[in-house]
A and B are shown apart, each in its own frame.
Chain A
Amino acid sequence: MSFWDTFVIGEEIALGSHTFTAEEIIRFAEKYDPQIFHLDPDAAAKSVLGGLCASGWHTASVCMRLNVETRYARLREWIEAGNPMPKVGPSPGFRNMGWQKPVYAGDTISFSQTVTDKRPSARRAGWGVLSFSTSGRNQHGTEVFSFDGVAFQGLD
């Protein structure tokens, strides 16, 4: 059995949750997405989004942080059980990213991932491609974020 074999189609993986503070929303926005509804609480309250909310790329980036922590915790567990370190690769991209609802300052978003497909790479020997759908829900249970991703993972 390899690390690759531990991923089962249909498996749901909880990635954990994150509370978005106004301070970090504004800090991300100042650097990468300085639209008024990500920067200024008063102006945001009067905007179409109704309040200070995170850049969609901030939400995606926080989700990645939790995804990396979860994936590398799984790797550590695998290695601590006496298995060799498998190869871990990058991602070629994603599809169908939805920012269904704003992520407001103070919201806590819980992210989860479902493995939707796995297959050996046609072009890269020794590598497989994992497909997964990812979703984020706020403290009210409302879906605020989703996308379909892929990542290269060693077959070893």
Chain B
Amino acid sequence: MNRPKRAFEDFSENLEIPLGPYAVERDEMIAFASEFDPQPFHLDEASGSANELVGRLTASGWHTCSMLMRMMADAFILDSTSQGSPGVDFINWRAPVCAGDVLTGTARVLSRRISVKRPTLGIAKMGVTLENQAGVTVLDGEYTLLLLTREGVAA
């Protein structure tokens, strides 16, 4: 493909990029939890139901973040001049994510600037939200994305 990737210049303020859908499968939830977050309420229905704050089998919040990452990779990061991320300002896990949920969401450019130290590197502050098929927000947050400018790509 010769089409140029989306560079920092293409990420204008308030640009909204749709994310998903991502179908949350029980087997994947349990595989993730078994490897990374083996708390009982992420592993089986009975333990989830028994926990008064959780109430049912739920996905690990880290799994939800990982699914968000995949949705962002597919929606725009893989087709961009992304140089990775230095970190995340915050993530709120607002509601449980359960087997059978279908997640969609939005990534929005909240603000953007050029690096003072590296004029071919752009810094975009991204706001992200995910909701389930019932329209309930399950996650929101803000993080920083680094992107090369067009000049940076040509260099």
Give A residues with C-beta under 8 Å from B: 28, 31-35, 37, 48-49, 55-57, 60-62, 64-65, 68, 72, 87-100, 124, 127, 147, 152
Using CB atoms, name the residue of chain B closest to A99: B87
Complex: chain A residue closest to B148, CB-CB: A48
CB <8 Å contact, B86 and A89: no
B87 touches A97 (CB 8 A): yes
Counted as pairs of residues, one from A and one from B, with CB atoms less than 8 Å apart, the total is 105
The CA of A64 and the CA of B54, in the complex, are separated in Å by: 18
**Chain A residues near B37 (CB, 8 Å)?**
61, 64-65, 68
CB atoms of B65 and A60 under 8 A apart: yes
| Contact present for A37 and B84 (CB under 8 Å) | yes
Interface pair A33/B66, CB less than 8 Å apart: yes
Instruction: Indicate the size class of the contact surface on chain B.
Output: 35 or more
Given A64-B60, A89-B54, A92-B92, residue A34 in contact with residue B78 (CB < 8 A): yes
A-chain residues with CB within 8 Å of residue B73 when the two chains form the complex? 32-35
Closest CB in chain B relative to A116 CB, distance in Å? 16
Given A65-B36, A65-B37, A90 contacting B90 (CB threshold 8 A): no
- Chain A contact residues: helix, strand, loop or mixed: mixed
Q: In the bound complex, do residue A55 and residue B93 qualify as a contact, i.e. CB atoms below 8 Å apart?
A: no
The answer to whether B53 touches A127 (Cβ under 8 A) is: yes
Known: A34-B78, A68-B39. 19 other contacts (CB 8 A): A32-B66, A32-B69, A32-B73, A49-B84, A57-B66, A61-B66, A64-B60, A72-B39, A89-B53, A90-B41, A90-B93, A91-B93, A93-B61, A96-B87, A98-B87, A99-B85, A100-B86, A100-B87, A127-B53
Among B60, B78, B84, chain A packs the most CB atoms within 10 A around the CB of: B84
> CB within 8 A of B52: which of A28, A87, A93, A147?
A87
Do A31 and B53 touch across chains, with their CB atoms under 8 A apart?
A: no
B45 at the interface (CB under 8 A from A): no
User: Is the C-beta of B82 less than 8 angstroms from some C-beta in chain A?
Assistant: yes
In B63-103, the 8 Å CB interface with A consists of: 63, 65-67, 69-70, 73, 77-78, 82-93
Q: Do A93 and B87 touch across chains, with their CB atoms under 8 A apart?
A: no
CB distance from B140 to the nearest CB of A (A): 9
